[in-house]
Structure 1
Amino acid sequence: MRCSRKSVFTMTSPTKNWSPKRKPTARGTAMTKPLTRLAPLLAALVLSACAVGPVYEAPTIALPGQFEAVPASATLATQLGDAWWLHYQDPVLDQLMAEALTHNADVQLAAARLEEARARAGIADADRYPTVSASAGSNRIRSSEQGIATDPRTYNLHTLGLSASYELDLWGRYRQASEAARADLLGAVAARRTVALSLSAELATRYFDLQAADERLRVLQQTLSARKNTAALLRQRMDAGSASQFDVLQADAAVAQVESDLATTLSAQQSTEAALAVLLGRSPRAIFEETLARGAKTDTAVVVPAGLPAELLRRRPDLIEAEQALVAATARIGEAQAQRLPAIALTAALGRESTDLSNLLDANAGVFSLAASLTQPIWDAGRLKRNVDIAEARATQARLRYTQAVAGAFADVRRALAAQRGATDSRAAQATRVEALHTALDQSQQRFDAGLVSRLEVLDTERSLLDAQVALANASAAQKTAIADLFRALGGGWQTPTEAGATAQ
């Protein structure tokens, strides 16, 4: 049990110096009677400052000292705000993000759940205050001759009045229920941020997949055109007797292979575009009829986190949601424990009552009542005790889920950092490979024209170049996607207190 010091006070009675030799005066006795009558109420007020149940303490978790060293050419996550996608410097992507965050169904569902949590918090907070209601009634009553006789036996009764009721929060039951509801509300706020963060990262990933599909289509279409020209040229040479039918068949097979890859890539492009339209919250007609805009491809700098890892606990919305669930579960332990303790309810009524409606507002028609009741659960087959056990078990589960979520969050950051490094290195390697294969293809074509090598060597080099160009497009998309995954793992971009203050100024 814990009590607030502000609510604890002392009362000095005027009879504290009483002794057998000194009888209390009439004045002292008159002053004592009101205090005696107020003693139960004062005691209830003192008890109402007390609360049962545990006090929430954040779990102690061993965190890493820092994320990683910051390269000189990298962009710090602290240089970006919540709109972390501005790092890509793509106006089309910015417009798509704004559309998705406004119209996406998951975002709207999260907003509706937030409103529900806000209403529930208001209901829980309202339980801490008195309820007042007005009533008016008119009855015609006939009494029994075998019961309590009235004269006359049949009469009218008209009533008009106000009533109020209030249960003293002796053990902090309603206060802790309100704290739990507020924690649920904060959790709903964090849940909406989690949905928005996941949506923005998923949208960025799909957008870059679409750009990669467009690039693969461009490469394949160029390759298909070149191979068709080559096949036509080889047929002319075969007719002239300077090329074999084997070379023509190889060229035709290469054309068919590119056509097959082109059809597969086109299908992937359409599938990605449809998925993007759903994320944007567009209508079924728009999904079928509208084409998504694309922005220009640009290189994106590497992003690294900065600051202490403890900031991740305060920033990442799913961790905030998990901690608020633990706060709520801890408060509900005290709420369950308070239900096992005595409860005092106060009721009051004030109004008018008359058998004649015309006399209802007369001065002598007034009535009132004051009542207080004390309720103490004695035996309920252990129901209330098991409610406490349930609340404690749920708090344990919430604590474990929170610590597990923290561990998972740092694992996400580590995986995202590794994926970004790998994607960056892969893209650089693929770019070098494409450049080298372009040179090799030129040399191979020159050797073929000189009759030094067969057409098979040229086709092998072309195939290798096509594979490298497709891999480069995929590596570029993977590098940008890795940045989006890193921001998702970090809970979006954030600013340190110093930078936030500078921005405000």
Structure 2
Amino acid sequence: MTLIRLLPLLGAGLLGACGVLQPPAPPPAPAPTQWQAAWPSSSETAAAPSMATWWQRFDDPHLVALQAQARARSPELAQVAARLAQARAQADAAGALRGPQVAAVASGQRGQALPGFQLSSTAQGQLQAAWELDLFGRQRAQTAAALAQREAAAAALAGAQVSLSAEVAQAYLAYRHAQQLARLADADEAAALRQQAAAQAAAGAGLLSPAQANEVALGVAGVRIDAAALRQRADLLLQTLAVLVADEAGPLQQRLGEAPPRLAPAFAAPRGLPTQLLAQRPDLVAAREQWVASVMAWRGAEAARWPQLQWGALIGEGRLELGGGTSSGRVWSVFPTLSWPLFDGGLRQAQASSAQAQEAEARAALEARWRVAVAEVEQSLLEVTRTESQFATMQAAMGQAQRLDASAAQQAAAGLISGTERAAVQRQFIAAQRQAHELALARSAAWISLYRRLGGGWSPEQES
């Protein structure tokens, strides 16, 4: 039996011995069975719906529009999307290489050649086909690695979108709070001026010493400096927001106008253990897929050390003109090729060892990413708990400050307290409002950070 007849039998035997390439089971996630930090419990969080529509629950059309504008115009997001397009194309190319490759070839030649220096012309057209039988899974491993890289790129895009939406929300809410703080600073400056005028009048009447009146006047200068800084803070935050949404600050300011800031809505603790919940984080998905790609690349490098069988075939028409005579006919051939690397100076072994080391690196990176993710969520939970408590305390204090301000206004109208005392109480109420805005912003930032570190919105199907 000739070698040509043996090759199909050898190929069939090797194909029969070759199993289906299965994706690897992910390494165990180093995550706790439950969160160490307690989730804030309240009637608001208990009744909160799915996180999939969390941004809409802010009830602020400007916020949603700005996030959409940022996603549409962000150069950084466009770069990540381009990398995803590249990964998809590479995955398609890897899959295409597993199938037969067919090409149409046409050629012609005219000239004189030995031995008789006769003028000759040749022309032929062929269909050529080639197909490598993936005996040991090299091509399948390469395809699986490319698909994993594609999924990692898709997760990276999802993570970039979540991060960009969170950054826009934080900048927008900070700008809205800065607007209110600048307005309160103007009111504080006006109250300080009234306090100064009342102090000067009281000093003229001998009710206050000149030193006390001067102390009030010095305080006005500090209030003016503080008011200017708060107005500048609002302008700087507007510039930050304009950069995020790729817009000009002037038109953006006109479009947004001035409005009270919205509080970030609380959301209920999603169902699922930390491992199940964090598995949706885009950075963890990307790290896991990168590890899968490294495992498949390792398998492909190992498979490259074994025989490779390729089938080739061609069929076509040819024409030959020589010495005044012409002949034409059909040409065809079928040719299997078996390639078995016997000696390469250790090249393939080195490539397999390198791929194995890359798998170990990707596995360690995945474990490190898991540990960071758990720590980040725990930190966000602690921050949410802290800011919720501080904000609730401040809300109670705000009610008391508002009642004191209203009472002082009535007493001043009745002539029971001086103008200086009235202005001082008013400024205390303004200071309480400013602190409330700062705590409200910190609370919203904490919830946005928790949303971001949990991987963004999820649907009820993902929760189950």
Give the TM-score, by structure 2 length. Answer: 0.87
Could you give the per-residue CA deviations for residues 285-325 of structure 1, whole angstroms, max 9, x where no partner exists?
x2344315155434454324221123224321111111111
Cα gap change, 1:279 to 1:404, in 2 (>3 Å): same
Match of 1:497 in 2: 461
Could you give the per-residue CA deviations for residues 429-471 of structure 1, whole angstroms, max 9, x where no partner exists?
2333444455667888979x9999996x888767655543322
Unaligned runs of at least 5 residues, structure 1: 1-32, 501-505
Query: Aligned equivalents of 1:82 and 1:399: distance in 2?
Result: 30
CA contact (8 A) 1:77 1:304 kept: yes
Task: Report the CA distance between 1:191 and its aligned residue.
Answer: 0.9
Could you give the per-residue CA deviations for residues 191-231 of structure 1, whole angstroms, max 9, x where no partner exists?
11100110111111111211221121121111111111222
CA contact (8 A) 1:180 1:332 kept: yes
Matches within 5 A, 1:228-239: 228-239=193-204
Match of 1:178 in 2: 143
- Aligned: 1:135 with 2:97: no
Q: Kindly, what percent of the aligned residue pairs are identical?
A: 26
Match of 1:63 in 2: 31
Matches within 5 A, 1:420-499: 420-437=384-401, 465-497=429-461
- Aligned: 1:40 with 2:3: no
CA contact (8 A) 1:65 1:308 kept: no
CA contact (8 A) 1:176 1:335 kept: yes
Match of 2:210 in 1: 245
Could you give the per-residue CA deviations for residues 27-64 of structure 1, whole angstroms, max 9, x where no partner exists?
xxxxxx89x97653243134235269996121113533
State the AA in 1 paired with 2:80: A
Larger of the two Rg values belongs to structure: 1
Query: Aligned equivalents of 1:459 and 1:247: distance in 2?
Result: 15
- Aligned: 1:211 with 2:181: no
State the AA in 2 paired with 1:373: T
Matches within 5 A, 1:78-97: 79-97=49-67
State the AA in 2 paired with 1:409: A
CA contact (8 A) 2:141 2:296 kept: yes
Moved more, 70-79 or 367-376: 70-79
Match of 2:283 in 1: 318
Query: Aligned equivalents of 1:468 and 1:106: distance in 2?
Result: 40
Task: Report the CA distance between 1:267 and its aligned residue.
Answer: 1.6
Match of 1:261 in 2: 226
Matches within 5 A, 1:34-433: 40-48=7-15, 50=18, 56-67=24-35, 68=38, 71-75=41-45, 79-144=49-114, 149=115, 151=116, 153-239=118-204, 242-282=207-247, 286-291=248-253, 293=256, 295-309=259-273, 310-356=275-321, 364-433=328-397
Task: Report the CA distance between 1:239 and its aligned residue.
Answer: 4.6
Cα gap change, 1:276 to 1:426, in 2 (>3 Å): same
Cα gap change, 1:389 to 1:190, in 2 (>3 Å): same
Moved more, 208-217 or 460-469: 460-469
RMSD: 3.3
SS in 2 for 1:365: strand
Query: Aligned equivalents of 1:208 and 1:39: distance in 2?
Result: 75
Query: Aligned equivalents of 2:224 and 2:306: distance in 1?
Result: 79
Could you give the per-residue CA deviations for residues 148-168 of structure 1, whole angstroms, max 9, x where no partner exists?
x3x453311112211112222
Could you give the per-residue CA deviations for residues 363-403 of structure 1, whole angstroms, max 9, x where no partner exists?
x5211222222222222221211111111111111111111
State the AA in 2 paired with 1:274: Q
SS in 1 for 2:279: helix
- Number of equivalent positions: 455
Query: Aligned equivalents of 1:96 and 1:54: distance in 2?
Result: 44
State the AA in 2 paired with 1:165: A
Unaligned runs of at least 5 residues, structure 2: none
Cα gap change, 1:178 to 1:360, in 2 (>3 Å): farther
Query: Aligned equivalents of 1:69 and 1:51: distance in 2?
Result: 48
Moved more, 322-331 or 78-87: 78-87
